[in-house]
């Protein structure tokens, strides 16, 4: 599968409509402040009246605190393997590709750390919306992307997010890839330019399309 088609297919599964993109933009920008977000605040910021998060494509995976406020919508206040530091706040993301996508949507650079599940090596990098990838360690690091056909609505984190990790080396990537049929692995910089940035641009600008297909 080409990266153009992969981007479009992922977009169509996760963010199929302009409403979904608006919610993602608003959720990321609000959660960047490091505090929970009420459903009312999200609805107002996204311009989506009568919002019921459960009815969105990622609704089953949205995280809440004990007061019913949103604490996770791709970007999360709850710890995950993918550490995402932005604006002085220690946040987390649901998957490795999220760390590459979100800085351009938020409009701010982020420092990222994530441990390779095969070698245990910590992958470190900075993503800037203007300059892209920098300070990548190790330089051999790669990113995993699942086959979009294996993404199951209602089980986004289990079928899409959890397998999508950073791998420290190509050998580690091949080992991980063997566990997930149809998975694509790319060097971090290639992943940013070919997949993550087009997705970020499409989320940020609803008129943008990814690849050759209409897309989220």
Which residues are known catalytic residues? 95, 98, 161
Where are the extended beta strands (E) located within 104-183?
A: 110-115, 122-128, 132-137, 142-145, 166-167
Nearest to 185 by CA among 167, 200, 199, 197: 167
Which residues touch 66 (CB under 8 Å, ≥6 apart)? none
DSSP strand pairing (63-64 vs 70-73): antiparallel
Nearest to 102 by CA among 211, 16, 161, 28: 28
Dihedral over Cα of 192, 97, 215, 33: its sign: negative
Q: Are 191 and 146 in contact (CB under 8 A)?
A: no
Distance CA 36, CA 191 (A): 30
Q: Are 168 and 211 in contact (CB under 8 A)?
A: no
Nearest to 73 by CA among 30, 103, 11, 107: 30
């Amino acid at each position: 599968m080409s990266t153009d088609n992969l981007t479009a297919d992922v977009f169509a599964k996760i963010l199929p409509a302009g409403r979904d993109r608006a919610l993602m933009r608003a959720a990321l920008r609000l959660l960047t402040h490091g505090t929970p977000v009420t459903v009312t605040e999200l609805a107002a910021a996204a311009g989506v009246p009568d919002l019921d998060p459960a009815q969105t494509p990622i609704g089953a995976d949205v995280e809440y605190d004990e007061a019913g406020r949103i604490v996770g919508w791709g970007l999360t206040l709850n710890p995950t393997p993918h550490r995402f530091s932005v604006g002085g706040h220690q946040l987390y993301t649901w998957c490795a590709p999220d760390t590459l996508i979100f800085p351009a949507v938020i409009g701010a650079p982020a420092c990222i750390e994530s441990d390779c599940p095969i070698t245990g090596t910590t992958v470190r990098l900075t993503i800037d919306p203007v300059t892209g990838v920098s300070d990548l360690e190790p330089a051999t690091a790669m990113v995993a992307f699942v086959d979009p056909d294996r993404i199951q609505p209602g089980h986004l984190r289990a079928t899409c997010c959890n397998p999508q990790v950073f791998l420290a080396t190509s050998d580690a990537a091949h080992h991980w890839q063997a566990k997930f049929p149809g998975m694509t692995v790319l060097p971090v910089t290639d992943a940013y330019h070919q997949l993550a940035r087009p997705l970020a641009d499409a989320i940020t600008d609803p008129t943008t399309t990814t690849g050759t297909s209409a897309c989220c």
